[in-house]
Structures are given as C-alpha cells and as structure tokens.
Amino acid sequence: MPLNHSFVLDSRPQGQASVENFKWVSAETPALQEGQVLVQHHYLSLDPYMRGRMNDSKSYAVPQALGEVMIGGTAGQVLDSRHPKFKPGDQVVGMGGWQNFSVVDANVPGMLRRVDTTHVPLSHYLGAVGMPGVTAWYGLVKIIAPQAGQTVTVSAASGAVGSSFGALAKARGCRVVGIAGGQEKCDYVVNTLGFDACVDYKVHSDYVSLSKALRNACPDGIDGHFENVGGMVLDAVMLRTNAFARLAVCGMIAGYNGAPMPMANPALILVNRLKLEGFIVSEHMEVWPQALSELGHLVGSGQLRPRESVAHGLASAPEAFLGLLQGKNFGKQLVKLV
C-alpha cells in the first residue's frame, strides 16, 4: 500500500489561524477491508467553513478533532476497490481530507460519488458542480427566489460560490451585481463571468461609502442578496434593499477571527421588511441532484466558466488556506496533489 501524507489539526487557533496549527503526518495506508475503496486524491478543496471547524466553540457543526486529519472535499481516482460499485480508474469525489490517499467505506451513503469528466473537468466537481455551486443554488432558489428583472447581489463574487450564483441568477433573468476586492477581480466578474456590474469594496473605508457605490450599480435597489462575507458589505447592502428583500446568509468570514462583528443597523430588517436566513448546504441534501444537474449544464455549455486558484502539492495546503481566509485567492481555491 502507498505511503500517505496528511495534515492533522495539531492545536486550535487563538485568534488568527497559523501554519503552526497543522502538523504533517506520514503513514502507510491500511489494507482494504471488504466494502472499502482506496482513492488517490488529485485535488483538495479549501473552503472558509474549515476555519469554523478549527474552533472548539459552537459553530456550523462539531469541531474538527485534534490529532485527526483535517476535513476537506477531494476529487480523485480509484486505485483499488473491494466494493462492487467502484473499480480502479473511476473518477470520484468525496470528503477525503487534507491527505494524498484515503480509504473509504463505500457502503456508507454519500461517502463517495462517481463523476463524469467528459464535459466537466474533475476539479470543477469541487467548485461550480460541487458544494460551492449547490450552496449558491440553494441561496438563490430556495431563499432569494427572485423574479426575472429583479436585482440580486453577491459578495465574494469572483469566488466559487459567487461565480456560480451569478450564472444561476443570469439564467433566471436577474440583474446581477457582484461585490469583490480589487479592480482585477471586479473586471473578471463583469467581463468573464458576465455580471451586470461589480463594486470594489476595497476602495471604500466604511459601509455608507460602499452603500453609495451600490446605489449606482443597483439603480432599482436590491431585491435579493447572497452574503459570503458579512461585516461592512452586509451593512452596505442592507441600506440599499427594497421592501421584502431576501438575504441568504452563507458566510461571515470577517467574523471568524476574534471578536464578533456587529450589524450596523438591524432596524432595517423591520423598516424594509427583510427576510434574513442563514443556512448550511449540507443540511439540505434533497436539493443536490437538481442543483448539480443545472450547474453541470451551465458548465458544460460554457455559460459558467469558473476560475480556479491552484496551489501545488499537499505541503502548500496550510499557506493556501490562510491566504483564502485573507481573500488572496482568485476563484475557487484548490490544492493539486497529482
């Protein structure tokens, strides 16, 4: 059996996460038991939710255990199988974690899914045609539920969730306005992703200023918003909402480190009769087949061309992850392992 390298969580962050929180561990992969599959990971997905799992406090889900391999989505190839439904060479996605190989009990539902890479590159099953894409779909379709002609906005617009959100909303006839950090990302959001406009939050020092820029980009106000960031961006969007706007709350990345980030003006929830709803896509597995089908079609037909930010080699994972938390990635953050 091949030698496996992995990162385990070695300590919990005090404030900002650092590379010292992760420990490199090497061990031989165990022999397969009946029903198990050996997968070689080609790509590891890095996602903001992982930061929440590193804390011991109440968050999305149970905390990541100390000394265990860091959780994470993976896409790869079956090397060996003792399960009748998988054979060597199959392309698969799963939750293999921060390591080169995983031994998966394929009898547990949802642990391993075979994918077709004829029209969709393997790595996209970790992004637009995976968890981030379904996340965008759920927020747009199940919470915002926009009508054609309405204006919807999304923060972190150049990322995996944001770019999927844009394509899904354009397909429904919405005016789609992104919020992103920096001119390069904003240009990409408009020119490549096809958003109607994009606002650079980095040139604004407070939410009132950002809100004025949003007013120019959204002359008819905002009917729906997908929040990946929180903090100043959410405050600015709330000021521009129309009556009965719906806000899907998916990320509060700005608040992960240190003290809670307040919301500036919650009275707007009443004044504009807003609906805000937080969600985690893994709690809504019933929508995945429908969402993945639509997302696969958008990618296969070229209507959604997601960008990737690829780090090379497992050893680069901690640095790439910390960069993601600081918004240094440009598109879906992956680690290429093979």
Q: Given the rule CB under 8 A, which residues bind a second copy?
A: 52, 58-60, 230, 234, 249-252, 255, 260-267, 269-280, 283
Nearer to a second copy, 48 or 166 (CB): 48
Structure-derived torsion over alpha carbons of residues 279, 282, 287, 288, reported in degrees to the nearest 10: 140
User: What is the closest distance, in whole angstroms, from the C-beta atom of residue 234 to a second copy in the complex?
Assistant: 7
User: What is the closest distance, in whole angstroms, from the C-beta atom of residue 325 to a second copy in the complex?
Assistant: 15
Secondary structure letter of residue 21 according to DSSP: G
Planar angle of CA 242, 247, 253, nearest 5 degrees: 130
Antiparallel, parallel or unpaired: β 332-336 and 36-45? antiparallel
Q: What gap in Å lies between CA 108 and CA 139, rounded to an integer?
A: 28
User: What is the closest distance, in whole angstroms, from the C-beta atom of residue 315 to a second copy in the complex?
Assistant: 31
Nearer to a second copy, 110 or 266 (CB): 266
Whole-Å CA distances, 125 to 66, 272, 299, 317: 28, 38, 10, 19
Nearer to a second copy, 117 or 265 (CB): 265
Nearer to a second copy, 53 or 307 (CB): 53
Nearer to a second copy, 99 or 155 (CB): 155
User: What is the closest distance, in whole angstroms, from the C-beta atom of residue 62 to a second copy in the complex?
Assistant: 13
Do the Cβ atoms of 240 and 203 come closer than 8 Å?
no
User: What is the closest distance, in whole angstroms, from the C-beta atom of residue 60 to a second copy in the complex?
Assistant: 7
Say how many residues make up the chain: 338
Nearer to a second copy, 19 or 280 (CB): 280
User: What is the closest distance, in whole angstroms, from the C-beta atom of residue 16 to a second copy in the complex?
Assistant: 17
Do the Cβ atoms of 338 and 41 come closer than 8 Å?
yes
Written as six digits, the tokens of 177 are 């306005």
Written as six digits, the tokens of 274 are 């807003």
Q: Which ranges of 3-120 does DSSP label H, i.e. alpha helix?
A: 49-54
